Structure 1
Amino acid sequence: MQLTPRATPGLPQILGEFGTLADGLDYAARGLTGYNFYSPRGKLEHVLPFSTLRERAQATGRRLVRAGLTRGERVAIVAETGPDFMAAFFGCQYAGLVPCPLPYTMYIGGREAYVERIAGMLKSADAAMALAPTDLLGHLGEAAVRAGTRLVMSHEELAAIDAGDVALAPFGPGDAAYIQYSSGSTSNPKGVLVTQAAICANVRGILQHGLKLTPEDRAFSWLPLYHDMGLVGFCLAPMMGQVTVDYLATTAFARRPALWLRLMSDNRSTIAYSPSFGYDLAARRVNGHAAELDLSAWRVAGIGGDMVRPDVLETFAAKMAVAGFDATAFLPSYGMAEATLAITFGELDRPIRIDRVDSARYKLSRRAVPVGEGAAAASSSRVRAFVSCGRPMPGHEIEVRDETGQSLGERQIGHVWMRGPSLMAGYFRNEDATREAMGDDGWMNTGDMGYWLDGEIVVTGRSKDLILHNGRNIWPQDIEWAVERVEPLRGGDAAAFSVENREGGEAVVVLVQCRLTDMEEQEDLRRRVAAVVSQTAGVECEIVLVPPRSLPFTSSGKLSRAGARKGYLSGEIAEISKGYLARKLQQAAGPVRMAAGE
């Protein structure tokens, strides 16, 4: 097998100027580029030129029609990183069916939690069919029974249906494209209905404005295809720009993060994205082998999917400088599934812009007051660093508003609203949720907080995660990031949230993943974490040491604070220290919820 090439000589590159996804694939199929899939050990397993994908997709579309599906029905597809998912997703485009990518990996809680999650999505989409790899067919079948989905098949079973000469009726520019389940979906999932017009508008902005794609670009992705950044950013957009993408499955990246960098080095990849935690993992695991890599071709190292961590990016750039990595390749951006994907981009070939503000001022007054470099060095505990995510794409608008809906000025922290041609049609068959998020004037509340900085947006966190303590607003990220710097903790080891105490007020709880087994070392860690929280946020809190891999994360790798809080209150996420539990039992002057979840 040979990798698909970087470009097709003689075929002019068209950057997203198509009316539908099917139109885009029709054009890309005229060239030599496509998708390539690597095994968890880094061996090339599948090569899928866009020309072959088009043939497979059209055959798959005919089989779906022969299976009894009618135009507009929903087809849920477990989004394994491989050719079968691609053929099914694009097969739906040609057959006039609405694909709904489903998570491939299991979540905290094992089989039952996964089945329940998938059943919720199937029911929300009112899916007529569900497709999965053979190894997940049992899980999917159980979920389908709960949701009332009438057809369940493996890709092999679907392929066994005679495609025949069924006439295909692809979606038109005014039709739906797919349903995307946002990363926070749990027992009550909300399906983001994306239209052909919205996906084409977003892709044009990504390719022409955000990435400024060229025929020499080659992308690499380990991002999950059931998440908007993986699906839109590294499946649909590259195809609509006729660019080759090389893939490593998300689970393979989690086991061997450094393999991502080695394959990018081998393939001279130019574009890849990751949340901050991906850069952190890769930098930790590359060890002393960075000098063996060549990352000099990497011109767009995008950051998205979560809050941008400047400390993580600085560490990564320092470690990878020996491999030829240029820190100006970092491209912070901001987006969400409800906006199809991208909303803003930073400037290419420019160092990331870090805004250092007085943390006490922004917590108390909701103003991002800058501090000088000298002040930052003198009192680092009073300084909070944010990264600018750039300006809105052409045709898209952002406003920062206060609680009354009034627009705010420079450096005033408020709720981020957006509108533009990439906006979703709404949450599928969920008018209440759609009405709550979107106004009649076309503006949508993103649920994020942020502020303006010289015409660029700075995102400070999710509004629903704010901790209200004694009249103060406390951003949980501030606590978590400070805690994660305590040795021997790592990024992603802490979750901060509030719970109601017995006086009816709010108490702050911090869950900390602990790998220490000695009780004295555990208690020392607890004391050091408590001191850091007190210094950073000025609050006393309950520090709960929990086992490694206890904290729940979303499909995009974001910490789920709501999930952590729920697990803590239910007792599913429990304290590991017996000494701590004994002390809690002895205290007990009233009905206080204990960390073990009695």
Structure 2
Amino acid sequence: MYSDFVSLVRDNVRTYGDDRSFTFISEEPGRKYKEHTLGFAELDRRARALARRLEARGLRDRAVLLLYPEGLEFITAFVGCLYARVIAVPAPLPDLDAGRFGRTRRIIEDADIALILTDTAHRGTLDAWLKAAGLRSRVHCLDTQIGKDADPGDWAPPAFSPDTLAFLQYTSGSTSDPKGVMVSHGNLLCNGEEIKRRIEGSPDTVGVGWVPHYHDMGLVGQFLQPLYLGCKYVFTSPITFIKRPALWLELITRYRGTITVAPNFGYELALRRVTDRQLEGLDLSSLTVVKNGAEPVRAATLEALSERFGPVGFRPEMWMPCYGMAETTLLVTGAPLGGGPVVRDFDAEALAKDAAVPRDAPSGAPPPGTRRLVSSGRPVTLDVRIVDPETRAERPEGGVGEIWVRGGSVARGYWGSLEESRAVFGARTSADEGPYLRTGDLGFRIDGELFVTGRIKDLIIVNGRNIHAHDIEEAARAAHPAALIGAAFGIDAAIDADLDADAGAAEDDGREHVVIVQEISTRAAAGMPLDELAALIKARVARAFELPAVSVVLAARGTVRRTTSGKMQRRLTREAFLKGEITALADDLEPGVTGLRRTPA
């Protein structure tokens, strides 16, 4: 019916006016919260006015950087860019206090940015940085909260097509430098329909969340999907959520939220931080969809949260584990509505050899030698294949391979990277079927369910066995209540010593070493000596995976490197370890690893 996203949004504006809205909850002094509401009709008026200002600058089909704190001003700016046929580039505000603008500058250079849209509070600091960085002559800031108002009545919709570029979604850079994914109007329409069908969304849907707007889950799932459905959405900032996770549940209760979405760590934070007293007065029974995605979904999290919040209306069938990525606009697979999660046990040794062999137990804890996995659900209409990444032959059911995706949600490629776009977005199977997107993720399908096992780049190969980093991290975390998030990676003593001339002499024993940088809570250690805790984690991991060489480094919270959206960066954590940039509270290192670390300057 629609050929562009703007036409759909404007139809919803005409149909619902300000009866549908975005509501932002801000934290005020004294732990008070303030409600700010922007109706669809007012959003449309402001977006048309901003579109006229952008058109006057001749920015059609040019990339413009959006640097905003969480709030309603970002939504106005993004929709204004859509209306003006300007390519929006959402990005996190740089750390202004610490002067960290490196990622922002890389995006400016990569996307050839000439204009930054921001709010009044951040205009001055960004201007000062641009001047200090020598960019002020070609990059300017526009404060969208002030200035001469353009007449929204003067705006006329430009010509759109499904191929018109809507925005660039810069990837988080968890395994590589950020890249700008080119998302078109056609991609937004296709993925909007994918999500609508999976969640059975309607104008009566009420979303509640806190995921940042520059993350694909936040931008598409939390901001653009309400515009697609014509429904209400209530949100707060990630910082406010982290400070007080109970607010998330209070908002669901107050606004009778029907859907919420977050990465697994958000649910774990709620489990750890929401007190029994804070549960009083909560009512989560209005929820029908609780999406969990963007990182590995833990069965233990699903089970614990269902049990903990069951007395206040949470039902296990609300869970909707899902899988997606920026390169597919967002959603690829999700559990069917009301079916709850599919959790199965598989033979760990067989998985290490790229075969999924079910070992489902009747009940209780999984038997030794098994790996418990949560299904990421099923595709709606997208074509999802499991392909051998080397031979490009399609794998049979139960065979582990790379996840390939084809369909209208798959983006156009990476901005300014034709060769890489062809390699990633233009893959063909050995039977010459395609083009497919190569996701870089490993998984398998059984009984129609997609199980994601890890990233290709996060594989640790020991004695010819493929072990996924997050499996090791799970085992380390389960070893003791003091263990928090951890990052596991492999180190080859011979290779890494050769690559780093500044490293000390390493004992080359011809083995790939597994290193775990494990954040801990010293309070939860309950007096246990930290060297004993390191030894305990080492022993548990070595025994669980039959690993001959495991090294453990215990560190404080915040040590493991993360992206701006909270996703773990194992590669950067590995580099920091080798450079001696990680301060150990205690460690238990193999001799072949000890000499590889530089001595901090």
What TM-score, normalized to structure 2? 0.88
Alignment-derived partner of residue 576 in structure 1: 585
Which of 388, 406, 409 does residue 375 from structure 2 map onto? Answer: 388
- State the partner residue of 1:9: none
* Cα offset, 1:588, TM superposition: 7.8
- Give the aligned partner of residue 523 of structure 1: 531
Per mean C-alpha deviation after superposition, the further-off stretch among 493-502 and 553-562 is 553-562
Aligned to 2:343: 354
CA contact 2:63–2:112 (8 Å) conserved in 1 = yes
1:45 positional shift: 3.1
Write out per-residue CA displacement over residues 128-165 of structure 1, whole angstroms, 9 at most, x where no aligned residue. 21122344446644665658472332535x63134257
CA distance in 1, matches of 2:540, 2:300: 17
The 1:527/1:591 distance shift into structure 2, 3 A limit, reads closer
Q: Does structure 1 residue 90 correspond to structure 2 residue 79? A: yes
Equivalent in 490, 493, 513 of residue 501 of structure 1: 493
The 8 Å contact of residues 488 and 517 in structure 2, kept in 1 or not, is answered as: yes
Give per-residue Cα distances to partners, 1:419-451, cap 9 Å, x unaligned. Answer: 111111110011132123122632111000000
Instruction: Structure 2: state its 5+ residue gaps.
Output: 428-433, 495-507
Aligned to 1:512: 518
8 A contact 1:418–1:446 mirrored in 2: yes
Question: What is the CA–CA distance in structure 1 between the aligned matches of 2:402 and 2:156, rounded to whole Å?
Answer: 45
Distance 2:594 2:536 in 1: 28
2:184 pairs, out of 182, 190, 195, with: 195
Return closer, same or farther for 1:546/1:389 CA change in 2, 3 Å cut-off: same
2-structure distance, mates of 1:118, 1:47: 29
Task: State whether residues 69 and 128 of structure 1, in contact with CA within 8 Å, keep that contact through their aligned partners in structure 2.
Answer: no
Q: Does 1:532 align with 2:516?
A: no
Mapped partners of 2:551, 2:120: distance in 1: 45
Counterpart amino acid of residue 499 in structure 1: I
The structure-2 alpha-carbon separation of the partners of 1:460 and 1:106, relative to structure 1 and needing over 3 Å to count, comes to: farther
Contact 1:205–1:393, Cα closer than 8 Å, also in 2:
yes
Q: Which of 39, 46, 62 is matched with 1:49 structurally?
A: 39
Q: Which one-letter code corresponds to 1:512 in the other structure?
A: Q
Shift of the 305–556 alpha-carbon distance from structure 1 to 2, 3 Å rule, reads: farther
From 431, 443, 447, the equivalent of 1:450 is: 443
Query: Where does residue 247 of structure 1 map in the other structure?
Result: 235
SS in 2 for 1:223: coil
1:487 maps to 2:513? no
Query: Structure 1 residues 436-445 or 260-269, which shifts more?
Result: 436-445
2:330 matches 1:344: no
Equivalent residue in structure 1 for 2:146, among 155, 159, 167: 159
Q: Please tell me whether residue 71 in structure 1 is matched to residue 60 in structure 2.
A: yes
RMSD over equivalenced CA pairs, Å: 2.6
Note if 1:307 corresponds to 2:296.
Answer: yes
Q: Distance in 2 between matches of 1:378 and 1:199?
A: 41
Do 2:63 and 2:89's aligned partners in 1 also have CA atoms closer than 8 Å?
yes
CA distance 1:185–1:510, change in 2 (3 Å): closer
1:186-228, Cα deviation, whole Å (9 max, x unpaired): 8832100001111111101111x21111333210110110011
8 Å CA contact retained: 2:291, 2:319: yes
Q: Secondary structure at the match of 1:417?
A: strand
Stretches of structure 1 that go unaligned for 5 or more consecutive residues are: 1-16
Three-state SS of the structure 2 residue aligned to 1:427 is coil
Match of 1:409 among 396, 400, 408: 396
Find the aligned partners of 1:308 and 1:226 in 2 and give their Cα distance. 21
Moved more, 125-134 or 52-61: 125-134
The 1-side partners of 2:49 and 2:540 are apart by 59
Does structure 1 retain, via aligned residues, the 8 Å contact 2:384–2:403? no
* TM-score normalised by structure 1 residue count: 0.89
Deviation of 1:402 after TM superposition, in Å, equals 4.8
Q: What's the CA shift string for 1:374-433, capped at 9, x where partnerless?
A: 6974734x1211111122121443334352111111111111111111111110011132
Larger relative contact order, structure 1 or 2 (CA cutoff 8 Å, min sep 6): 1
Contact 1:34–1:243, Cα closer than 8 Å, also in 2: yes
Indicate which of 344, 349, 367 corresponds to 1:379: 367
Match of 1:298, SS state, is: coil
45 and 367 in structure 1: CA distance in 2 versus 1, 3 angstrom threshold = same
CA distance in 2, matches of 1:139, 1:386: 46
User: Taking structure 1 as reference, are residues 139 and 520 closer, same or farther at Cα in structure 2, changes over 3 Å only?
Assistant: farther
1:557 aligns with 2:566: yes
| Inter-CA distance 445–423: structure 2 relative to 1 (3 Å threshold) | same
Provide the rounded CA distance (Å) in 2 between the counterparts of 1:596 and 1:228.
Answer: 39
Partner in structure 1 of residue 102 of structure 2: 116
- 2:108 alignment partner AA: L
Task: State the alpha-carbon separation in 1 of the partners of residues 158 and 174 from structure 2.
Answer: 29
392-401 vs 442-451, greater mean Cα deviation:
392-401
Corresponding residue number in structure 2 for 1:284: 272
**SS of aligned partner of 2:105:** helix
SS at structure 2 position matched to 1:331: strand
